[in-house]
Amino acid sequence: MGDLAPCIPYPCRDTAGSRRGRAVIQFDKVSKHYDGGHEALSQLSFTIPTGEMAFVTGHSGAGKSTLLKLLGVIERPSHGAITMDGQNLAKVRRRGIPKLRQRIGMVFQDHRLLMDRSVFANVELPLAIAGIARVERGRRVRAALEKVGLLSYERQLPATLSTGEQQRVGIARAIVGRPSLLIADEPTGNLDPQLAVEIMGLFAEFQQVGTTVLIASHDLPLIKRMRKRVVVLDHGRLVADLAAEEVL
């Protein structure tokens, strides 16, 4: 990735070709303190426009996962504002969280699949929650499974699949609800390099159709290979914000 340049606030700019989107995500002086005084994030400010794919990287404990948890409203910031399509996530009421999460697809390193339900039922979950009709659900679940190459596995239980396949089920579940934002926390952490590239290729495809993608990863070789924007954190601070062309 080359040298980690001093922090430069990332300007709003054109992405995905000539498309100019509104700022889908904006971090404005966001800090997060945990009980005991540990500061996971400090005065973090950056903007990710619609349809951009970006990586958040840094050493273990740099604040990558905390950043994604704030986006998923799993945690709340101690200070500052996080806006998504103009909505301040820090001020979303408890009752409003489910609706917000339905707009976000989340992919986890440990997949978080329901092991007693079939692959189809797992992927169907966000649609059932959103109140999509059964016929439409079936159509969209199969389309998502086809996209990740697991259509023939729809009746199987996740436990019968390999780690990579389980991760793809997790991705299918994350994208089936057509989220405006896709966040992934170390999605290739347990995968071999070849499989990791395939999974990243999937994320890139989602970005190309307009989904904003934010991936937390410490796999620098993979990040370099993808040549996307990279936000670098160190002890909760933004130390570099590299545009795709700057990633070498």
| Binding footprint of another protein on the chain (CB under 8 A) | 72, 74, 94, 97-104, 106, 112-114, 125-126, 128-134, 139-141, 143-144, 146-147, 172-173, 175-180, 205-206, 209-211
Closer CB to another protein, 132 or 247, in the complex: 132
- Least Å distance, CB 248 to another protein, is 30
Residue 97 or 244 having the CB closest to another protein: 97
Minimum CB–partner distance for residue 168 and another protein (Å): 12
Closest contact distance (angstroms) between CB of 77 and another protein is 17
Nearer to another protein, 132 or 242 (CB): 132
Least Å from the CB of residue 2 to another protein: 32
Residues for the chain: how many in total? 248
94 vs 155, which CB is nearer to another protein?
94
Q: Please state the closest distance from residue 1 (CB atom) to another protein, in A.
A: 28
Pick between residue 5 and residue 74 the one whose CB is nearest to another protein: 74
Q: Taking the complex as a whole, how short is the minimal distance between the CB of residue 186 and another protein, in angstroms?
A: 16
In 3D space, the residue among 28, 9, 8 whose CA is nearest the CA of residue 88 turns out to be 28
Q: Which is nearer to another protein, 82 or 113 (CB)?
A: 113
